[in-house]
Chain A
Amino acid sequence: MSTIVKLPDQSTAQLPKVSYLNKEYGLKSWLLTGDHKRIAMLYLISITFFFFIGGAMAGLIRLELLTPPSDLLAADTYNKVFTAHGIVMVFLFLVPSVPATIGNFLIPIMVGAKDLAFPKINLLSWYLYIVAGSMIIFTLVAGGVDTGWTFTTPLSTHYLNTHVITAGLAVFVAGFSSIFTGLNFIVTIHRMRAPGMTWFRLPLFVWSHYAASILMVLGTPVLAITLVLVVLERTIGIGVFDPTKGGDPLLFQHLFWFYSHPAVYIMILPGMGVISEVISNFSRKRVFGYTAVAFSSVAIAVFGFFVWAHHMFVMGISNYSALVFSLLTMLVAVPSAIKIFNWSATLYKGSITFETPMLYAFGFLGLFTIGGLTGVFLGSMGMDIHLTETYFIVAHFHFVMVGGMLMAYLAGVHFWWPKMTGRMYPEGVSKLAAVITFVGFILTFFPQFILGYLGMPRRYAAYPPEFQVLNVFSSAGASVLGIGYMLPLLYLTWSLKYGKIAGANPWQATGLEWQIQSPPLTENFIETPIVTHEAYDYEWLESKKGSEVPTVG
């Protein structure tokens, strides 16, 4: 076969007459919907809102750190601002980002189902998210909370007079939203696959969501219990974490990180799924070593549960238990390395094009590699002593979470935007945005590695003057990064009305979601699909096109 794969002629494409977007009208039809696609849209709008709140907080932090003394914000205000940034970004943006929006939209379609297993629980999950978000907004308006997103006891239980209980309960509620999403995915992937859709024909996006869902369902309850204990300790003083009552404050650290370390895999795994889809599609090739990539997701999920105490190497845990946790941390780094190399090898002998999602995916590869390798610095126990609790940590997890996850999220939003809305985003400006984001990101967070090795502690409103130059670089980068994130908000909104009409399969991708109209029908499929081909089978797609009269829209 020697036909050059070209994107289909979109000038003849038309929006379908009926889709999930226009099947019903009115606010009520959205707020009481059971349709996973509409719920995904609700999530998309709400997490974008919270992303920009968290982003505004980040802007304030970087402005304050432009100068050494705490002159723009008072120390207390600064503490509240970074706490709000952390809580909003972690619990209201990163955890639900890809799974609750893109995952919610695509998992049922990818497995060939009409909806998730429990549509009402799916809707409930969004309402819980909104309740949690409203509680966080309330704490911000009512005077803030200054525990840090880690809620460290006994500071949070005995020493602060801010809205710790409201914030703790908000995260508790947000946790249930996440549990429900995970539960829905697990049941859907197990029970609702279309005929012929075997486990190893699932797109890797589904595999990574499956792994992340296991973490959500098993890990989040521990966070919920921990936060309830914090609230009980604060209100009635049960003393679980209070050493004067025979409690142990280190127990809090164990419980908190038992969730919060797997939580970073909850955040990154769905992003890895997006990258698998995007890289495969834009190099027109099956992902190199499908099984290895699929099982590495599961390996990350399993090992991810047994590394939590690497957050506690300086806290006085036994040296020998530190040894075990360090070893396991090194092991959990291996599956990530496998993924990176498999994605790189996917490009080999491909037919590569460089649309916006691919640029974001390349950004992900670079930044996630740096983030992952600096994680090895921190997993190495003796090095961790010097680096932990400094800006090195801040830089490391921003490389993984923002450089990795947010890049993957934006790659996914651009990639599936035509499917979700039926319209294309503008290609030129979006490429520019991807490049601006990458450059701004490096400029913002790379200096922080150097600051960290110099010893600048995190969460400082004021710092010694010799750290200023690097902080100025970082703040300058943050303003570039800010532009990089504003642009997609503007042009994606613009494209809702003015974007080119996309047609069913603008990328010539192989997933089941691309074989149906864009935007899809409420029922997704007119008849239940029967799957006869492997995932990423581009030759199947070619032969299918040859035997079929092309109908666009």
Chain B
Amino acid sequence: MHLISPVLWQFLIKWLTNFAIFPPEASTIAPYADALYFFLILISVVGLFAVALLVVTFSIRYRQELSPVATQIEGSTLLEATWTIIPLILFMICFVWGALLYFRIYSPPPNAMNIYVVGKQWMWKVEHPGGQHEINSLHIPINQPVQLTLISQDVFHSFSIPAFRVKREVIPGRYNTVWFNATTPGTYHLFCTQYCGTLHSQMIGQVVAMTPEDYQAWAAQSISGTSLAQNGERLFASLGCNSCHNSGPNAHGPNLASVYGAHLQMKNGQFVTVDDAFLRDTILNPTMHEVAGYAPIMPTYQGQVSEEGLIDLVEYIKRLDSQYRIEQTIDNSGAQPVQTGTTPAGTSAPALAPGTVKP
């Protein structure tokens, strides 16, 4: 006999016994993060229990009925030192452990495959180097380190995958990176966790972790347009970059062959390693890094290239490993005149719609 409707009763039972209290562990990081989490819970329970024990015991033992007159005690240096040093040691353990985890999460391994993510109000645009584009979803292979290079084209966003225990702020004007190594195939939540305006709570998506074979199959059928580097090559030509960066004897700009990863000397004598952020900065704000030996004559391309276009250019320059590739670009640019495009995928293959291909 039920006091309330049996249907409602069953519903309540099902509902109350069936809710998540712990997220799935789906990356190599997750067990490390959870271990620290449980340690922190342990010291919190011990700390709370210690305080509760003191307060409850004293409240019972020294309530006014049992202890009509208080004994005045000044303090005790020994006791105070004890409860200064024990928490301090515990907190230092948390600090060291947390720092180790932090460096693990934010130091990508060198063999990680790189995927670009552009955040905008209110969607995630994912660009795979092979030319696969996705919106609000991210397909990745398991057992393979994946690095995400993140940038926003408008406001702050934050890219969070709770099942992987990773998160990184997505900021306008600078590349941030995060990496993970998924371990279990499945579909996981992808959240924007930094408040970004009206549809902040709709800026969600899914991360699809797949076996390497499934991923290969997905990647093969999801190519739209050409690879990011190929798009970059066209953009490089159409923006006229090669009129200066042509590696010729009278070139006004530095030779870009094998520039990625190089240590360049700046005018102020410092050495800077060329990375994604350096390349992006020099395209938009050429005077930010003035390379020794070259006059600051490069115009800014601020406002002329979209974030996706910049990613294409960066990806192209990254792969410029020889003189020959630059000359090829110059030759190609004559053969394939293109407009100054801001949508990289649409430039040479208008028949293929740019944007997402969702399986």
Contact = CB atoms under 8 A, between A and B. Distances in A.
Do A and B pair up? The answer is yes
Interface of A: 1-5, 70, 75-76, 79, 146, 148, 150, 152, 154-155, 158-160, 243-244, 246, 248-250, 283-286, 288-292, 313-316, 319, 322-323, 326-327, 330-331, 333-334, 337-338, 340-342, 344-345, 347-354, 362, 365-366, 369-370, 373-374, 376-377, 379-386, 388-390, 450, 453-455, 457-464, 466-470, 538-539
A294 to B, nearest CB: 11
Given A146-B197, A288-B73, A382-B97, 17 more contacts: A249-B156, A289-B75, A315-B169, A315-B176, A316-B168, A331-B91, A341-B51, A347-B55, A347-B59, A370-B44, A382-B98, A382-B104, A383-B36, A385-B166, A389-B193, A450-B21, A459-B195
B54 A381 contact: no
Contact of A152 (B16, B23, B47, B156): B156
12 contacts: A319-B107, A337-B83, A338-B80, A344-B58, A352-B63, A381-B98, A382-B100, A382-B105, A453-B22, A459-B195, A466-B19, A468-B19
Could you say which of A370, A457, A459 has the most chain B C-beta atoms within 10 Å of its C-beta? A457
Nearest to A323: B99
B270 interface: no
Contacts, number: 307
B95 A286 contact: no
Nearest to B54: A344
B199 interface: yes
Contact of B173 (A1, A160, A244): A244
B274 interface: no
Contacts of B43: 373, 376
A457 B169 CA distance: 13
Given A457-B193, A458-B193, A286 B40 contact: no
Contacts of A349: 62, 67, 70-71, 73
A73 to B, nearest CB: 11
B90 to A, nearest CB: 8
Interface in B1-56: 15-16, 19-23, 32-33, 36-37, 40, 43-44, 47-48, 51-52, 54-55
Contacts of B64: 4-5, 351-353
Interface of B: 15-16, 19-23, 32-33, 36-37, 40, 43-44, 47-48, 51-52, 54-55, 58-59, 62-64, 67-76, 79-80, 83-84, 87-88, 91-92, 94-95, 97-107, 121, 154-156, 158, 160, 162-163, 165-169, 171-174, 176, 189, 191-202, 204, 285, 302-303
Contact of B166 (A344, A386, A458): A386
A373 B48 contact: yes
Closest 9 CB pairs of A and B: A382-B101, A455-B162, A243-B173, A380-B98, A289-B75, A381-B102, A347-B58, A389-B193, A460-B201
Contacts of A333: 87, 91
Given A152-B194, A373-B44, A79 B102 contact: no
Nearest to A366: B52
A288 B83 CA distance: 13
A160 B197 contact: yes
B58 A352 contact: yes
B55 A374 contact: no
B201 A461 contact: yes
A235 B303 CA distance: 21
A382 B36 contact: yes
B162 A75 contact: no
